A and B are shown apart, each in its own frame.
Chain A
Amino acid sequence: MAAEHFENSRSKVNDFALKLANVNGTGSSSANNLLMRSIFRMGVPVSGKNLFPSNIQGLPTWYEIRVNRDGHVARAREYDLMVAMNGQTYARDIAEVAGGGFTMYDSSWPLGRDLIREDVTYLGVPLAEMCNDEFRGPRERILMKNIACAGALVAMLGIDMNVIAQLLTEQFAGKDRLRESNQRALRLGHDFATQHFEYPLPCRIEAMDATQGSILIDGNTAAALGCVFAGATVAAWYPITPSTSLMDAFAKYCAKFRRDPETGRNNYLVLQAEDELAAIGMVLGASWAGARAFTSTSGPGISLMQELLGMGYYAEIPAVVFDVQRVGPSTGMPTRVQQADILVCAYASHGDTKHVLLFPASPAECFAMAANAFDLADRFQTPVFVLSDLDIGMNDWVSPALEWDDAYVPDRGRVLDAGELRELEVYHRYEPADAESVAARTLPGVSELGAYFTRGSGHTIEGAYTEYPEEYQAVLDRLARKHTAVAEHIPAPVVDDHAHAPLGIVTLGSCELAVLEAVELLAKRDIAADYMRVRGFPFGAAVRAFLEAHETIVVVEQNRDGQLRTLLTLETPVPKEKLRSVLAYGGYPLSAEDVVDGVTKIQEA
């Protein structure tokens, strides 16, 4: 162990990144989770990002852990410690180690000479050998190799063994044999490390209390819970990465919370559709009939839903669509992240359409925005998209414990009941409209007096078929006014303009942590910037005011074409040339360095 690495050791305590390179399908994820959870339990801000392949077994998979005492846990681009357990990717992985960093590898086999870097310290642990001696059967040997590796890391990172023991006890409650073998494997790695290396490393954990009151949760689980709490009763979906776990979680929580204790019957119905066209059709049918209904999908599903989304818009039927974005176009990279469905959702379907979008930045917002989405869909009788992404949806985030206001009452919008219908001289579906350009709807099964014919064909304000320009336009123009009226009901943007800088950085969704960190890093380079995170579309007065108040706006987002920038130029009066883009769209979550580099380049130009 080179002593010089310890000189600067204080600065790496609770501030480092490590990356575990593995082969998928070998059970590495439980060891990864164990590490991430133990750091969380030690009260230290942490993130764990799973960079996994679209495959079940045999391809490279990585898990990145970033620890930061100040809460900056966006993805790091360099790693203080690389745990290189996949021969296929050794070269690439070792190249990502920060100068002066460490590489842990399985020394059961020698490391090729070409992989040796002078500025990296190598920690060889004979994991395969140790586990072959200790365990029987190929499956157990492979699984326990990961746990033994975690054991070595526990020693090297200074993770509290009591915390780990407690985690194993919780994880394997009632499964003593499994707990015992995990414990043994963990000890194996731990003891090897402590006997052979100077430990802990400069990049290490010291207990804090920064995660008090927080939980670890992924955005898909949080979104699913939000749907349960918002009162969704019908869910329709077609399996697609990375949204599948959202519906899995909805079904799981419904089974727990929605089974009538007296009758044993379900107060919900989950429909696994034959495709996404059917999924959105089921949602529209159920919403039309009066249920709160939603679907969860990703980009390819959004493409397939286009026609019916247009019908939902034009016939004014509520619907909630969770789009957990992945890399496009086409099949793209299903297990990588992007924010590239912004425009396709904003203007989904042929003809003049405009939709309502929400942009959650965290699991907590996925939870809260579920209720927002249902309220907006019902109030404005239109499809609402919640644009989450793979990073938020599938990774565990340190999140404030989810909170729910028990005084919440669903906003079901203007729906006439039988009594209200009796008081009307005559009911027409699309008039009279209220101040927000919304007309009252009626539900089937309530009263003959409210009967109308829902159609995607040209219709009058009464809901009757038409091909006359003025009758058609009366409805279409009101839809435009209605969309505008939504703006002030969209969650307000998150703004930090205390720098009073001429430069404003605008972003959305999962870019948040990287951009906030970048704003601090830029300030250290004497580049002051104000910050705004938009939380939905249409854009309201606060968004316009921020754009107006800054000389230069840099829009940071994760797609090639600057889709949020485009939407801002189309849907606000901001001059196009005022908006510049910083884009990251390779499929990995955004890093603060990406933003710093991009903004610096713009400032220098």
Chain B
Amino acid sequence: MPSIVKPMVTHPGLERNALGLSIRDYEGGMSTLCAGCGHDSVTAAITHALWESGTPPHMIAKLSGIGCSAKTAAYFARGAHGFNGCHGRMPPIATGASAANRDLLCIGISGDGDSLSIGLGHLAHLVRRNVRMVYVIENNGVYGLTKGQFSASADVGSTTKRGEANHLQPIDPIFLGLSVGATFLARGFSGDKRQLVPIFRAAMAHRGLAIIDVISPCVTFNDHEGSTKSYLFTRQHDVQMTVTDFVPPAEEISATIPDEGVVSIPMHDGATLRFRTVPDGYDPTDRMAVIEHLLSARGRGEIVTGLLYIDEQSSDLHELGNTTYRPLTQVPYDKLCPGSAALAGVGFR
């Protein structure tokens, strides 16, 4: 199959990151999604955040399930291994990869069908295990590859292109996460890369599972009047609940940003999250308060975006498992095999 090859021309003046790599080094194959697909914007934001973070591409592991979203794992970080698994099963596959090699930066790309229908159970348990990874849900309310059926995130009353309305209650991954103990929850809009990039940076630095639900309109099957996941509807109802800067460990906090009213949250690796804009009384570390704010926003019909909840204190998979700091894949065999002498006490004699 003649895959679509991306031209590899890099402008010499392109900015370099700490590793001396330009953003082109974090790109992947050419997208085969529809022109204008929200997912391509999400890919661009992830690419940018990865480049900014200075992660060596080979230390990234890209994982996905099945669907339009799943394809996008091929469209960034060509220097990273990718795993396009089975429908809904990316969370356990990512759990295994992270269990084996804790040094990998695992980026999971999923969709609303993958995460909220066929793989909902896996997602809930991924949250409970607090597997250290970035988990992106490219959420468009429809099944694109099978041509426009409602997904589990479709709002009540939202219509298909033919005008049929959805009557089933939607599953909101943010509320799901809050109810089962998620430690990082954000929502973005594919149309707002400026908001997405710092959220992805923070997610990559988070010690634990970072879920980013990105409203990412499907231009072909769910961008019409009557859809609540269209570009227009999302723009009209998007309310940025929080605006967050991600300040990496080494950088000093810029003096141009006023400190007044800013909530700063230190991250585990020394970075800082600065919540510049938050509503009165909103504490992104207070689960109950966040739930209250989100519920009342939902009552007002708002699509709330921003980094909504963060918990840097909880243990992740490897802390809970008391696993060695060295990736299990790198523990030499002589440390794994107890040797024949250990068999002396085995069995009843």
| A interface residues (Cβ-Cβ under 8 A, vs B) | 37, 40, 215-217, 221, 225, 228-231, 233-234, 236, 257-258, 260, 263-271, 273-275, 277-291, 293, 307-308, 311, 396, 399, 401-406, 408-410, 442-448, 450-457, 460, 464-468, 471
Contact = CB atoms under 8 A, between A and B. Distances in A.
A234 B328 contact: yes
B103 to A, nearest CB: 6
B99 interface: yes
A410 B321 CA distance: 25
Contacts of A273: 92, 125
Given A453-B82, A466-B1, 5 more contacts: A265-B325, A266-B322, A288-B81, A453-B73, A464-B3
| Highest count of chain A CB atoms <10 Å: which of B63, B80, B97, B331 | B97
A543 to B, nearest CB: 31
B250 interface: no
A308 B346 CA distance: 35
A280 B318 CA distance: 19
Nearest to A225: B346
B78 A215 contact: no
Contacts of B81: 288, 442-445, 450-454
Contacts of A289: 61, 96-97, 100-101, 104, 329
A272 to B, nearest CB: 10
Interface of B: 1, 3, 56-61, 63, 73-74, 78-86, 89, 91-101, 103-104, 121-122, 124-125, 129, 317-318, 321-325, 327-329, 331, 333, 335-340, 342-343, 346-349
| Highest count of chain A CB atoms <10 Å: which of B61, B98, B346 | B346
A228 B338 contact: yes
Contacts of B347: 215-217, 221, 399, 401-402
Nearest to A232: B336
A271 B1 contact: no
A568 to B, nearest CB: 32
A275 B121 contact: yes
Contacts of B57: 448, 451
A233 B100 contact: yes
Contact of A471 (B1, B93, B95): B1
Given A290-B101, A445-B59, A282 B95 contact: yes
Nearest to A268: B328
B75 to A, nearest CB: 10
B99 A286 contact: yes
A493 B323 CA distance: 40
B231 to A, nearest CB: 29
B325 to A, nearest CB: 7
B97 A281 contact: no
Contacts of B328: 233-234, 267-269, 291
12 contacts: A215-B349, A231-B336, A231-B337, A260-B324, A265-B323, A266-B324, A267-B336, A278-B121, A281-B89, A289-B101, A445-B58, A471-B1
B335 A285 contact: no
A277 B322 CA distance: 25
Given A40-B348, A445-B61, A451 B79 contact: yes
A258 B338 CA distance: 8
B99 to A, nearest CB: 5
A401 B343 contact: yes
A285 B95 contact: yes
Given A217-B347, A231-B333, A289-B104, A451 B58 contact: yes
Contacts of B63: 285
| Highest count of chain A CB atoms <10 Å: which of B91, B340, B348 | B348
B1 A460 contact: yes
A402 B84 CA distance: 41
Nearest to A400: B347
Nearest to B345: A256
A286 B96 contact: yes
B1 A281 contact: no
B86 A308 contact: yes
Contact of B100 (A270, A293, A451, A457): A293
A231 B330 CA distance: 12
A279 B92 contact: yes
B242 to A, nearest CB: 31
A524 B331 CA distance: 56
Nearest to B328: A233
B96 A267 contact: no
Contact of A444 (B3, B80, B335, B336): B80
Contacts of B340: 403-406
| Highest count of chain A CB atoms <10 Å: which of B91, B121, B324, B333 | B324
Contacts of A265: 322-325
Given A265-B325, A453-B73, A290 B100 contact: yes
A448 B79 contact: yes
Given A265-B325, A278-B92, A281-B85, A234 B122 contact: no
A230 B121 CA distance: 32
Contacts of B333: 231, 409-410
Contacts of A285: 63, 83, 92-100
B107 to A, nearest CB: 11
A29 to B, nearest CB: 14
A289 B80 CA distance: 12
B96 A236 contact: yes
Nearest to A402: B343
| Highest count of chain A CB atoms <10 Å: which of B74, B78, B329 | B329
Given A233-B336, A453-B74, A282 B96 contact: yes
Nearest to A442: B81
Given A285-B100, A286-B99, A456-B85, A291 B329 contact: yes
A287 B338 CA distance: 21
A263 B324 contact: yes
A596 B336 CA distance: 46
Nearest to B87: A307
A30 B321 CA distance: 33
Contacts of B348: 37, 40, 215-217, 396
A263 B97 CA distance: 23
Contacts of B104: 289, 444-445
A473 B99 CA distance: 34
A455 B94 contact: no
A508 B8 CA distance: 58
| Highest count of chain B CB atoms <10 Å: which of A217, A229, A275, A285 | A285
A537 B97 CA distance: 29
Given A233-B331, A291-B328, A403-B343, A271 B99 contact: yes
Contacts of B317: 269
A278 B325 contact: no
In the A-B complex, the 9 residue pairs with the closest CB atoms: A285-B96, A215-B347, A281-B92, A448-B79, A291-B100, A444-B81, A286-B96, A282-B96, A289-B100
Contacts of A278: 89, 91-92, 95, 121-122, 125
Contacts of A281: 85-86, 89, 91-93, 95-96, 122
Nearest to A278: B92
Contacts of A457: 84
Contacts of B349: 215-216, 401
Contacts of B92: 236, 273, 277-282, 285
A131 B86 CA distance: 60
Contacts of B335: 260, 267
A285 B102 CA distance: 12
A216 B327 CA distance: 36
A286 B100 contact: yes
Contact of B85 (A271, A311, A406, A464): A311
B74 A282 contact: no
Nearest to A216: B348
B79 A456 contact: no
B64 to A, nearest CB: 10
A43 to B, nearest CB: 12
